[in-house]
Amino acid sequence: MKNDLNDLATFATVAEERSFTRAAARLSMSQSAISHSMRALEKRLGLQLLARTTRSVSPTAAGTALLRNLNPALERIGLSLAELRKQKESPAGRIRLIIPRTATYMVLLPKLAQFARTYPEIVLEVTSSNDPIDLVAQQYDAGVQIGEYIQRDMIAVRVSKDMRLAVVGSPEYFKSHKLPRTPRDLKDHACIGFRFSSGIYRWEFEKGRKTLTVNPQGPATFDDPDLVIQAVLNGVGIGTAMEEPLAKMIADGRLIQVLKDWCPTFPGYFLYYPSRRNQPAALAALINTLKSPQ
């Protein structure tokens, strides 16, 4: 197939130029190389494609029939290659991005309107998922995830400031339950779990040199952090989510934050992608838009 494509493109040029000499000059090949290419193609096909005399070259009936399909196909290939070069040189095309819902609210949506105005030829195809995934296997261009969940062979760029997990309950819930003072007190509470496809997220706590991990035990688990918080607001139990999106509800008294001194900050979200080599201009534009100042 590789030889056929090369020889077919050469044949189309010879047929268009009606001359081995002019075709050789156009393709930066020797006349003997073009002649050898045409003989090899005709031998493989078992048909004569070019009629040759000492003064002229023209396609045969078989060659003319082939050109009717060949020329549009070569033109489509040329247009496709030009489009790929355009994506490398200017920000355009489609980016498949996988990102947790919380990160979409915190990282992407605040900058999306300006990004769309600045780069109108880029289309973001966004998939919401909390699970760490293999970008290459799932055919995504980039992803956003907590740094600790990103594979080491990925390029990672910070896109959020330091974050902290918040443990919260509703005032209604705490009317009948004591506020937990240490993570060990959580055994006496209804803990609403957050679920990855690989299992329940274990609540990790740290204070000084002390570290504790709690497996949440309660009446429900969800794979969406918004639903965890909604259950908390409805008085079902205690749940966890990123502190920043909950700040207003905590300030308004709709949620009560507990164990704050046991929840240290961590680096937060990173945009990650497979390689720096031959990076499309559209992806570079997204990275420059989302990355956090150092």
pLDDT value at 120 more than 70: yes
Q: Is the pLDDT of residue 157 over 90?
A: yes
Whether residue 229 is predicted with pLDDT greater than 70 in this model: the reply is: yes
Q: pLDDT band for position 3 (50/70/90)? A: low
Q: How confident is the model at residue 89 (pLDDT cuts 50, 70, 90)?
A: low
CB contact set of 49 (below 8 Å; sequence gap of 6+): 11, 15, 38, 41, 42, 59, 60, 62, 63, 66
Residue 87 has pLDDT above 60, yes or no: no
CB contact at 8 A, 276 and 155: yes
**213, β-bridge pairs:** 204
Residue 268: which of 160, 138, 134, 187 has the closest Cα? Answer: 160
pLDDT of residue 253: 96
Per-residue pLDDT band at 232 (split at 50, 70, 90): very high
**φ/ψ of residue 186, rounded to 5:** -65, -15
CB of 108 closer than 8 Å to CB of 126: yes
pLDDT at residue number 278:
66
Residue 53's pLDDT is 80
Q: pLDDT, tens digit, for every residue of 51-73?
A: 988 778 899 999 999 999 898 88
Distance of CA 45 to the CA centre of its chain: 44
How many residues can be counted in the chain?
294
Question: What is the structure's pLDDT at 197?
Answer: 86
The overall average pLDDT reported for the chain is 90
**pLDDT for res 231:** 97
- The token duo for 90 is 């200017």
Q: Is the pLDDT of residue 276 over 70?
A: no
Question: Residue 149 in contact with residue 198, Cβ under 8 Å?
Answer: no
Range 148-155 contact pairs with CB under 8 angstroms and sequence separation of 24 or more: 148/266, 150/270, 150/272, 151/272, 153/274, 154/272, 154/273, 154/274, 155/272, 155/273, 155/274, 155/275, 155/276
More confident residue, 5 or 61: 61
Q: What is the pLDDT of residues 186-227, one digit of tens each?
A: 999 999 999 988 899 999 999 999 999 999 999 999 999 999
Percentage of the chain beyond pLDDT 70 is 95
Six-digit token pair at 140? 């995504």
Q: What is the mean pLDDT of residues 125-135?
A: 91
Q: pLDDT exceeding 90 applies to what percent of the chain?
A: 72
Mind listing the pLDDT tens digit for each residue in 243-263?
999 999 999 999 999 999 999
pLDDT score for 106: 93
For the chain, give percent helix, strand, coil, nearest 5. 45, 25, 30
Q: What is the pLDDT of residues 170-195, one digit of tens each?
A: 999 999 999 999 999 999 999 999 99
How far apart are the C-alpha atoms of 165 and 159, rounded to whole Å?
17
What are the two backbone dihedrals, phi and then psi, of residue 198, each rounded to the nearest 5 degrees? -85, -5
Q: Which domains does the chain have, with CATH numbers?
A: 2-89 (1.10.10.10), 93-161+268-290 (3.40.190.10), 163-266 (3.40.190.290)
